[in-house]
A = this chain, B = another copy of it.
Amino acid sequence: MLQFIENDLQAECVALADRAKRASRELAIARGKAKNEWLRRSAEALRVRTEELLDANRRDIAQAPTYGLSAAAIDRLTLNPKRIDEMAKGLLEVAALPDPVGEVITSSRRPNGLEVSQVRVPLGVVFMIYESRPNVTLDAAALCIKSGNAAILRGGKEAIHSNVALHRVLADELVPSGLPGDAVQLVATTDRAAVGYLLKLPDRIDLAIPRGGESLIRRVVEEARMPVLKHYLGNCHVYVDAGADFDMAVSIIVNAKVQRPGVCNAAETLLVHRDVAEGFLPRAAEVLRGMSVELRGDEASRAVVPWMVPAEPSDWDTEFLDKILAVGIVDSLDEAIAHITRHGSGHTDAIVTSDLAAARRFVAEVDSSAVMVNASTRFNDGGQLGLGAEIGISTDKYHARGPCGLRELTSTKWIVYGEGQIRE
Residue from B245, B365, B422 within 8 A of A251 (CB atoms): B422
Contact A370 B413 (CB under 8 A): yes
Contact B25 A398 (CB under 8 A): no
Complex CA–CA separation, A30 to B396 (angstroms): 22
User: Which residues on the B side are within 8 Å of A252 (C-beta)?
Assistant: 420, 422
A150 in contact (CB, < 8 A): no
A402 in contact (CB, < 8 A): yes
Contact B364 A108 (CB under 8 A): no
Contact B422 A373 (CB under 8 A): no
> Chain B residue with minimal CB distance to A259?
B423
Contact B207 A398 (CB under 8 A): yes
Complex CA–CA separation, A121 to B384 (angstroms): 22
Contact A248 B420 (CB under 8 A): yes
Complex CA–CA separation, A227 to B228 (angstroms): 10
Which one of A86-94, A157-165, A374-382 contacts B?
A374-382
Contact A25 B371 (CB under 8 A): no
Taking CB atoms and an 8 Å cut-off, the chain A residues in 392-420 that contact chain B are: 396-399, 401-403, 411-420
A66 in contact (CB, < 8 A): no
Q: Known contacts A114-B375, A227-B398, A423-B376; is A369 also within 8 Å of B207 by CB?
A: no
Interface residues on A, range: 35 or more
> Chain B residue with minimal CB distance to A255?
B422
Contact B374 A417 (CB under 8 A): yes
Contact B413 A373 (CB under 8 A): no
Contact B401 A412 (CB under 8 A): yes
A116 in contact (CB, < 8 A): yes
A234 in contact (CB, < 8 A): no
Complex CA–CA separation, A385 to B207 (angstroms): 27
A110 in contact (CB, < 8 A): yes
Contact B124 A397 (CB under 8 A): yes
A317 in contact (CB, < 8 A): no
Smallest beta-carbon distance A281→chain B, Å? 19
Complex CA–CA separation, A245 to B420 (angstroms): 9
Contact B29 A365 (CB under 8 A): yes
User: Which residues on the B side are within 8 Å of A363 (C-beta)?
Assistant: 415
User: Which residues on the B side are within 8 Å of A123 (C-beta)?
Assistant: 397-398
A367 in contact (CB, < 8 A): yes
Contact A398 B259 (CB under 8 A): no
A341 in contact (CB, < 8 A): yes
Residue from B369, B421, B422 within 8 A of A414 (CB atoms): B369
Residue from B110, B118, B248, B256 within 8 A of A384 (CB atoms): B110
Q: A106-B386, A375-B421, A401-B414 are in contact. List 14 more A-B contacts (CB 8 A).
A: A110-B386, A227-B227, A227-B396, A247-B420, A252-B422, A254-B422, A370-B415, A370-B416, A371-B414, A373-B415, A374-B420, A375-B420, A375-B422, A385-B416
Interface residues of A (CB under 8 A from B): 25, 28-29, 106, 108, 110, 114, 116, 118, 121, 123-124, 206-207, 227, 245, 247-248, 251-252, 254-256, 259, 341, 359, 363-365, 367-376, 378-380, 384-386, 396-399, 401-403, 411-423
9 cross-chain pairs, A with B, having the tightest CB-CB distances, nearest first: A375-B418, A255-B422, A397-B411, A370-B414, A399-B399, A378-B423, A248-B420, A227-B398, A376-B422
